[in-house]
Chains A and B, each alone.
Chain A
Amino acid sequence: MSEEIKKKIEAKPGKPAGKALKPKKPKIPRQPMPEQDPLKRIHNFNEVPYGFSPETAMIEASRCIMCKKAVCIDGCPVEIDIPAFIKAIRDNKFAESIKILKDENALPAICGRVCPQEEQCEIVCVIGIKGEPVAIGRLERFAADWERENMEISVPEIAPPTGRKVAIVGAGPAGLTVAGELAKLGHDITIYEALHKPGGVLIYGIPEFRLSKDIVMAEVDYVKMLGVKIVYNALIGKYLTIDELFNEEGFHAIFIGVGAGLPYFMNIPGENLNGVYSANEYLTRANLMKAYDFPNYDTPIIRGKKVAVIGGGNVAMDAARTALRLDAEEVTVVYRRSRKEMPARDEEIEHAEEEGIIFRLLNNPVAINDDGNGWVKSMTVLKMELGEPDSSGRRRPVPIEGSEWVLEVDTVVVSIGNGANPLLVKATPDLKTNKWGNILADDDTCVTSIKGVYAGGDIVIGAATVILAMGAGKRASRAMHEYIMSLDVS
């Protein structure tokens, strides 16, 4: 720690570093995240935030008052001991900090980047009542990055082999979490992944500038170091069925974490024109297939000059910001409700605004128009106003009659949400689902209608967040451990 920073911390009355702190007015402001300049970053795919320096991290950590009854832990879907890991950072014990994080979370570098902390741990932070909450997410990211850059990744003690085999379908956040937890307990774990790379939405969906793929691969490597095997290009339902995993491959339990990957379309005229993408396709081409580096990589992507992105979620922000980085001159987000109802995180919306994305809120596309050669020429949009709240509690958008206008665009990315992946469910008739195709699973144990089969993440709750999928993975792993240990496998 530099002398200057030490002084800063020690200068805080009644708050010497390393001693119990009392909740007095926090004078140190929440430390800002250093970021790439918006004008520069729209021309590259590098990560936008640089991360805290050790000095900044220690200053930020010193803002935490280490509440005895830590409400932040209740806000965390994977129950990380937040005050403990922050205390370790404050005390310059970074290795200890990452160990505490990894006790509860196998993917801290990812969660530190993409968790909506502002709705989970940080929203309940006591410091946040009178000021800004402690930057828990940024500190988590710091500890994970520090470990990756500064030390050999350490593997926790693994229990002796139990003789139980578990198959996991899908190498996304839920599946990786179950895999990590059960491997530590000594079970023999195999993940079956349909794509050629692990990570699920972390690798095909979330762009490089928000979550570097090297980081995803490093966290997956950690899970592999726990003894987990991953089989790629294995689409369960086609390659092997659930029955075959039990009867032919000899697994004792199965976890299904296949996600919500079925893209919804608007069902408006012109949606099948060239130049119209689902956000899934647009992002998969750019991220998984690295089409931004075409022709070095073989997969092409249409580099539109004027791009419209339909929708207001995190995926829409990702698609819009990807379009900018693919040299679009003008990117417009078209969303049918107002800013208040946008499901995207504030940070994502702010980043998009800084980068020059245009927001046409309270507007809804009604048709995509043809240039005469099968390509997009423009989009007809209807203005909306907010009416009474609907079933989601958000005010329902109502069309304003006669308000149609035309937005000139050559590329449209439809980002209005994803449904449950139907393939495995269709191939497994005994697996009960709701009317949207989400697998029915118990909230606490994640057990499904089939004995020994568990499910969690987006395939159960619908398109949500990485951390909720990981939370489900943790709950499932506890129930699965109990179940397989109750089996006589001799």
Chain B
Amino acid sequence: MNEILEKHILSEGVKDITVSSPHIARKRKAGQFIILRINEYGERIPLTIVDSDPVEGTIRLIFQEVGKTTYALGDLEVGDEILDIVGPLGKPTHVENFGKVVCIGGGIGVAPVYPIAVAMKKAGNEVISIIGARDKDLLIMEDEMSSVSDELIVTTDDGSYGIHGFVTDALKELLDRGRDIALCVAIGPVVMMRAVSNLTREYDLKTVVSLNSVMVDGTGMCGGCRVTVGDDTRFVCVDGPEFDGHLVNYEELILRQGAYIKQEKESLDLYHKCRLDKLAEKGKINV
């Protein structure tokens, strides 16, 4: 069950794995996610399904190593199994032929925006994609995004590749050129999604963002992922993960995402220590 069949490193700390999961591969639609638990001691974390192969029965997950669970996941090798995977969760992206759609991915957010770009393209849209990263080395999935986009714009914060600047700079230029865009989809760090939403609000451009909040069950039972959208409290796991970017309360979301920073650090430090101890045991390093 849930065997890792392929593993690639996309950039420093960003890993791309293909996992056997026939049911989810058959069922999943763009915008949906899974929740996984690595082992008996593990926590449950959500990850977007980047791609799937219903014939082979596999799903593809891309993640950045930021906390204990993602580091431990990154340490698994081809042939290893993930104890639990549940999905597909969340509502699929609303896909239709809107005309012209701009898909924006920032940092690791390129991975979840990719399946949406694929679906939008397939539905007959003209897809303009903007992907950005801090620097050239951290940029992921450029070729894949290019293959599903009519136009691909790349930005880096430090100017080491593509346009020097943020994704919002490229988007503003696009909008100022008066391109007749019907929809904007933006996925990335919360501050990026907030900046994109603030910009598109000025242009009255409908904007969809996909939120990655803290979750436990992912089926609507705990409410840990709640977010304020307009005047309502919504659950990201069952009402989302996609919401109207102009209505999301980003300040609250940022605070809620930081709720466990202390515990996450404690857990990660402990994991790194264990990892070093194991390497030392094997004689690979001296401590």
Contact = CB atoms under 8 A, between A and B. Distances in A.
Interface of A: 194-196, 204, 232-235, 238-240, 261-263, 265, 267, 271-275, 277-278, 280-281, 284-285, 289, 294-300, 302, 373-374, 421-423
A272 B252 contact: yes
B83 A196 contact: yes
Contact of A235 (B43, B219, B259, B266): B219
Given A272-B226, A272-B233, A196 B216 contact: no
A277 B216 CA distance: 12
A281 B84 contact: no
A284 B217 contact: yes
Given A194-B86, A238-B27, A272-B228, A298 B42 contact: yes
Contacts of B233: 265, 267, 271-272
B56 to A, nearest CB: 18
Given A238-B27, A274-B258, 17 more contacts: A194-B219, A196-B84, A239-B24, A261-B220, A263-B223, A265-B226, A267-B233, A272-B252, A277-B224, A278-B224, A289-B43, A297-B41, A300-B260, A300-B264, A374-B258, A423-B219, A423-B220
B267 A294 contact: yes
B270 interface: yes
Contacts of B227: 272
Contacts of B132: none
Given A272-B226, A272-B228, A300-B267, A239 B23 contact: yes
Contacts, number: 116
A284 B224 CA distance: 11
Contact of B37 (A196, A234, A240, A421): A196
Greatest chain A CB density within 10 A among B24, B222, B227, B267 is at B222
A194 B86 CA distance: 7
Contact of A298 (B41, B221, B238, B252): B41
A214 to B, nearest CB: 15
B216 A299 contact: yes
Chain B interface size band reads 35 or more
Contact of A289 (B44, B69, B223, B259): B44
Nearest to B32: A238
Contact of B43 (A234, A239, A298): A298
A415 to B, nearest CB: 12
Given A274-B259, A296-B41, A298-B42, A284 B222 contact: yes
8 contacts: A204-B221, A239-B23, A262-B221, A263-B223, A275-B259, A281-B216, A285-B222, A421-B221
Nearest to A241: B27
Instruction: Name the prevailing secondary structure of the B interface residues.
Output: mixed
Interface string B34-66: 000100011110000000000000000000000
A263 B37 contact: no
B263 interface: yes
Contacts of A273: 255
Contact of B88 (A238, A271, A277, A296): A238
Residue among B42, B88, B216, B258 having the largest count of chain A Cβ atoms under 10 Å? B216
Nearest to B87: A238
B209 interface: no
Given A194-B86, A298-B68, A281 B259 contact: no
Nearest to A374: B255
- Name which of A204, A299, A373 has the most chain B CB atoms within 10 A of its CB: A299
Contacts of A302: 259-260
B134 interface: no
A417 to B, nearest CB: 13
Contacts of B255: 273-274, 373-374
A195 B260 CA distance: 23
B47 to A, nearest CB: 14
B243 to A, nearest CB: 15
Nearest to A426: B238
A288 to B, nearest CB: 8
A152 B131 CA distance: 62
B223 A238 contact: no
Contacts of A267: 233
Contacts of A261: 219-221
Nearest to B85: A233
Given A196-B83, A196-B86, A284 B221 contact: yes
A147 B279 CA distance: 47
Given A263-B221, A284-B217, A233 B266 contact: no
A235 B86 contact: yes
A158 to B, nearest CB: 28
Given A261-B220, A298-B69, A272 B44 contact: no
Interface in B256-279: 256, 258-260, 263-264, 266-267, 270
B95 to A, nearest CB: 18
B42 A281 contact: no
A281 B256 CA distance: 14
Nearest to B35: A233
| Nearest 10 Cβ contacts at the A-B interface | A374-B255, A300-B263, A281-B222, A233-B86, A261-B221, A298-B43, A299-B43, A278-B223, A196-B84, A274-B259
Contacts of A274: 255-256, 258-259
Contacts of B187: none
Interface in B186-232: 216-217, 219-224, 226-228
B260 to A, nearest CB: 5
B222 A295 contact: no
Contacts of B248: none
B89 interface: yes
User: Taking each of A204, A263, A294, A300, which has the highest tally of chain B beta carbons within 10 Å of its own beta carbon?
Assistant: A300
Contacts of A271: 233
Given A265-B223, A278-B222, A295-B267, A285 B216 contact: yes
